[in-house]
Amino acid sequence: LSDKLQSTLQKLTGKGRLSEKDIDAAMREVKLALLEADVNFKVVKDFVKTVKERALGKEVLESLTPGQQVIKIVNEELTRLMGTSEVKIDFSKKPTVIMMCGLQGAGKTTTSGKLANKLKKDGKRPLLVACDIYRPAAIKQLQVVGKSVDTPVFTMGDKISPVDISKAALEHAKKNGNDVVIIDTAGRLHIDEKLMKELQDIHEALEPSEVLLVLDAMTGQDAVNVADKFDDMLKLTGVVLTKLDGDARGGAALSIRSVTDVPIKFIASGEKMDNIEVFHPDRMASRILGMGDVLSLIEKAQLAVDDKKAKELEEKLRKSTFTFEDFLDQMQQMKNMGPLEDIIGMIPGMNSKALKGINLPDNEFAKVEAMILSMTKKERQKPEIIDSSRRKRIAKGSGTSPADVNKLIKQFKDMRKMMKQFGNMSKSMGKRKFKL
Ligand code: GDP
Ligand code: MG
């Protein structure tokens, strides 16, 4: 997904304007890319529709380049779809019972250990409960996991029913001061009635605060069906998406949330006990988009460019009253975005190799700035008055040479001429012509 979507969106960046046709073409490709990533068909359809509606509106015309705007909208919608902010665990009930469920091999036992580990770090005193009495060595596995995270494991062997084990575990927890009880249940290769009945019985007996479905992210579209069925039977409170370290497609996260409305609470990306984190929809959106830093570039750009200032500047261009002071202002805005090198590095498709051989004018910036700062207010507003003696004074004040000052003035005048044409053009078209 990432590569394809990235190249699609990359085509959009750097364009001055985005026509309806452009958006349509891009959205067709975004749609294909999402479907390819196993995102549910209906979800994709709704998603594309929403983005298109937003992109076609006036938002595309204001600030940023249209391409950047589309990326931003796509990202925002992805984030919104997966839940706007992260959802945490509800600890109001004491002890808090967390029931882990899911198909065989999804990662329930591993995740139980990870959760215990995480909760311990938050100052909790968890108890792990072995309720998988079917899978050979399942109890032993939980004991090993429990030991590795220094958490007690409650077990009654494999002769007693999981419901009775879990009830006894709750009593044990109350007596021993465990404030969180994590129940590691059995899984099956497929959902069947017997498994569901057992899980429902445990659910009824313990009334868990959290029923977390552990899902293997690698199973894609299938994960959504599983989530849907488990939610029907058990009323899930959250999903843990595992194995995101593999070739996993974030697409599952997208569909799960929008099809079942169950929030994804944690993600796991590795077998080690500290490989678990709270789910952040915005990060997952970036992951699905595979755009990496391009999103932070957009944020930076938006911070740096004050819309009001841009409008004032446009007005000045139109009237061609652009001065060295405005120029300085512009330079400072660009500096707010960080070193040019960083900014170029954040653009998709640009890497450090592409940067080699290009001389970045960062120190050139400083020089120009020094020269402008050495000018008087009058000189900045009316560069025409800068004669050779003024030139010498400015050069001296900025540690440059009169030739440097001369060059700057010439460049400035050329620029102003160009901008005047530009300004007239934008006036005749009645549209903003500015882009970053
Ligand atoms: P259960 O049957 O649901 O209890 O699943 P397990 O906890 O036994 O995990 C099944 C396999 O998946 C084990 O080999 C785990 O080490 C592995 N596993 C679990 N979570 C992750 C993960 O986030 N990333 C990777 N790469 N492997 C995982
Ligand atoms: Mg297990």
Q: What is the ipTM of this complex?
A: 0.99
- For the ranges 277-286, 354-363, 411-420, the one whose mean pLDDT is highest: 277-286
**What average pLDDT does this structure show over 381-401?**
91
- Rank 25-29, 60-64, 152-156 by mean pLDDT and report only the highest: 152-156
Residue 115: the pLDDT is 97
Q: DSSP code of 262? A: P
Q: Which fold has domain 297-429?
A: 434 Repressor (Amino-terminal Domain) (1.10.260)
pLDDT reported for residue 357: 39
Atom of ligand 1 nearest to the CA of 141: 8
Instruction: Give the mean pLDDT of 56-75.
Output: 62
Q: Report CA(262)–ligand 2 centroid distance (Å).
A: 22
Per-residue pLDDT averaged across 204-229, rounded? 91
- Strand ranges, E, within 221-367: 238-242, 264-267, 277-278
Do the Cβ atoms of 88 and 278 come closer than 8 Å? Answer: yes
Q: How far apart are CA 14 and CA 29, in angstroms?
A: 18
Cα 82 from chain centre: 11
Residue among 271, 273, 279 to mutate when testing ligand 1 (max atoms within 8 A of CB): 271
- Which pLDDT does position 3 carry in this prediction? 59
User: Torsions phi, psi of 267, nearest 5?
Assistant: -130, 150
Provide the residue type at 430 as one letter. G
Average pLDDT for residues 81-86, to the nearest whole number?
A: 74
pLDDT tens digit string along 154-169? 999 999 999 999 999 9
CATH of domain 2-81: 1.20.120.140
Average pLDDT of the residues in 383-389: 90
> Which residues have C-beta within 8 Å of that of residue 92, sequence separation ≥ 6?
209
Q: What percent of the chain has pLDDT over 70?
A: 69
**For residue 226, which ligand has an atom nearest its CA?**
1
| Ligand number nearest to the C-alpha of 188 | 1
Q: Measured from the CB, is residue 109 less than 6 Å from ligand 1?
A: yes
Q: State the pTM of this model.
A: 0.66
Residue 26: which pLDDT band, with cuts at 50, 70 and 90?
low
Higher pLDDT, 384 or 416: 384
- Would the CB of 113 count as within 6 Å of ligand 1? no
Which parts are annotated binding residues for GTP?
A: 102-109, 184-188, 242-245
State the fold for domain 96-279: Rossmann fold (3.40.50)
Phi-psi category of 267—alpha, beta or left, where left has phi over 0 and alpha has psi -120 to 50?
beta
Identify which of 214-223, 234-243, 326-335 has the greatest average pLDDT: 234-243
Which pLDDT band holds residue 316 (cuts at 50, 70, 90)? low
Residue of higher predicted confidence among 435 and 191: 191
Q: Token pair 């999981």 is at which residue?
A: 162
Q: Is pLDDT larger for residue 435 or for residue 160?
A: 160
For position 239, what pLDDT does the model report?
94
β partners of residue 154: 129
Asked if pLDDT for residue 386 goes beyond 60, the answer is yes
Whether the Cβ atoms of residue 103 and residue 191 lie closer than 8 Å to each other: yes
Ligand 1 within 6 A of CB of 273: no
Helical axes 251-260 vs 66-81, angle rounded to 10°:
60
Q: What residues does each domain of the chain span?
A: 2-81, 96-279, 297-429
Q: What is the pLDDT of residue 302?
A: 57
Atom of ligand 1 nearest to the CA of 214: 3
172 has pLDDT over 90:
yes
Average pLDDT over the chain reads: 79
Residue found under tokens 């509800």: 90
